[in-house]
């Protein structure tokens, strides 16, 4: 059979990658997965996505796997040249995802998150310029200036006053300058700007998504990355770094994020940037998350409060999804926090491995 419609998904063994493969395999003739299990290198055995990759190879009939590092310009080039204009979609979910890890290895982090992205963009420009490119970025591109807002401290979380311009969540007009981002956030911002530039300068269908906490059953959360997954699965003392455990995050299930990718693929807007997250309904502080795990699973989690927060960490992040919804009104959040916690627990109980 002639292959006429191909999707390339980088980081295919990760949480977003797995959900992307599962979703888009129903609509494309072939899915090309690119993943060299770097998470095992970043975070050790607990972060490895090897079992995810094996599962995709075994269960997705039109999936083809390539264990390539996205920094490998020659091999990436040959792959894009092989399929050319048959490539209709590129989802870049490959990343070094931890700002703590990036502080120890800033050069390697930048090579993966920024240079790797540009290598993919350039191959798209040369080999399949009519395709759609989706960049999975991060809210960390905004840095820590948002920590200077006058948050109210309640018994379980920090909160913005209701009259605050960002009470309903952070919009895309949040400033990025004058901030400490972490090397991870800076590298992601560099890749974001290049994605916008390739869209505007070369007239390509590139979209940039900036989620906060992505989660779900196939998430290989570790202490350095993926707090909700790590929290649900931990059987030891959970370390809370700073802010009394009252720092707030919203959580979006990876399948909801991938459905947003599909909306963009069907009707691309060149160079648009979207904050996308769980919103207020899917937000919680770490203390609230611990209590919710107890409520949903009956699991008592021991935790230890560390005085110092992680460098560049946010006190509060809730996403305002209104821009994306105004462009794609058929999309909405469909999976709530309690369901996410149950799914993570179920996957952990069956010893299924995963990532973000």
CA distance linking residue 302 with residue 318, whole number of Å: 26
Q: Chain-wide mean pLDDT for the chain?
A: 92
Inter-CA distances, 348 with 94, 176, 224, 343, Å: 23, 37, 18, 9
Residue 127 is predicted with a pLDDT of 98
| Cα 330–Cα 333–Cα 337 angle in degrees, nearest 5 | 170
CA distance linking residue 125 with residue 5, whole number of Å: 17
The answer, yes or no, to whether residue 111 has pLDDT greater than 70, is: yes
Tens-place pLDDT, residues 151-186: 999 999 999 999 999 999 999 999 999 999 999 999
Over pLDDT 70: what percentage of the chain? 94
CB 262 within 8 A of CB 196: no
With respect to CATH, is domain 6-349 assigned 3.40.920.10? no
Residue bearing tokens 């979703």:
23
Tens-place pLDDT, residues 98-110: 888 899 999 999 9
Q: What is the DSSP letter of 114?
A: I
CA distance linking residue 213 with residue 97, whole number of Å: 11
CA distance linking residue 347 with residue 349, whole number of Å: 5
Tell me the pLDDT band of 349, cut-offs 50, 70 and 90: low
Structure tokens belonging to residue 243: 């802010």
Residue bearing tokens 């700073």:
242
Inter-CA distances, 195 with 82, 101, 255, Å: 23, 24, 23
CB 262 within 8 A of CB 23: yes
Q: What is the DSSP letter of 113?
A: I
CB 137 within 8 A of CB 181: no
Of 80-94, 131-145, 202-216, 305-319, where does mean pLDDT reach its minimum?
A: 305-319
Residue 167 is predicted with a pLDDT of 97
Residue 352 is predicted with a pLDDT of 40
Q: Which residue has the higher pLDDT, 324 or 352?
A: 324
Nearest to 340 by CA among 268, 289, 276: 289
Q: What is the mean pLDDT of residues 137-155?
A: 95
């Amino acid at each position: 059979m002639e292959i006429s419609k191909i999707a390339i998904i980088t980081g295919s063994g990760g949480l977003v990658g797995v959900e992307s493969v599962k979703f888009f395999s129903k609509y494309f003739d072939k899915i090309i997965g690119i993943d060299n299990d770097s998470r095992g290198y970043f975070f050790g055995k607990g972060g490895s996505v090897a079992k995810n990759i094996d599962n995709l190879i075994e269960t997705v009939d039109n999936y083809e796997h390539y264990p390539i590092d996205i920094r490998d310009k020659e091999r990436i080039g040959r792959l894009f040249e092989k399929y050319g204009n048959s490539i209709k979609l590129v989802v870049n979910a490959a990343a070094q995802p931890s700002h703590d890890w990036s502080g120890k290895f800033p050069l390697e982090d930048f090579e993966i998150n920024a240079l790797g992205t540009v290598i993919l963009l350039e191959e798209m420009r040369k080999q399949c310029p009519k395709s759609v490119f989706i960049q999975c970025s991060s809210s960390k591109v905004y840095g820590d200036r948002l920590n200077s807002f006058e948050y109210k401290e309640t018994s379980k979380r920090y909160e913005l006053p209701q009259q605050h311009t960002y009470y309903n969540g952070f919009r895309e007009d949040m400033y990025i300058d004058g901030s400490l981002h972490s090397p991870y956030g800076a590298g992601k911002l560099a890749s974001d700007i290049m994605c916008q530039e390739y869209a505007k300068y070369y007239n390509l269908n590139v979209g940039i998504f900036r989620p906060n906490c992505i989660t779900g059953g196939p998430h290989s959360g570790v202490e350095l990355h993926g707090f909700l997954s790590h929290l649900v699965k931990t059987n030891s003392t959970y370390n809370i770094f700073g802010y009394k455990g009252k720092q707030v995050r919203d959580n979006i299930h990876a399948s909801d994020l991938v459905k947003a990718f599909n909306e963009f693929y069907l009707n691309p807007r060149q160079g648009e940037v979207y904050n996308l997250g769980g919103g207020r309904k899917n937000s919680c502080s770490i203390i609230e998350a611990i209590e919710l795990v107890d409520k949903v699973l009956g699991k008592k989690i021991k935790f230890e409060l560390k005085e110092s927060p992680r460098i560049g960490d946010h006190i509060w992040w809730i996403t305002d999804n209104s821009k994306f919804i105004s462009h794609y009104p058929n999309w909405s959040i469909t999976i709530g926090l309690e369901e996410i916690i149950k799914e993570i627990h179920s996957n952990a109980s069956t010893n299924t491995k995963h990532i973000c």
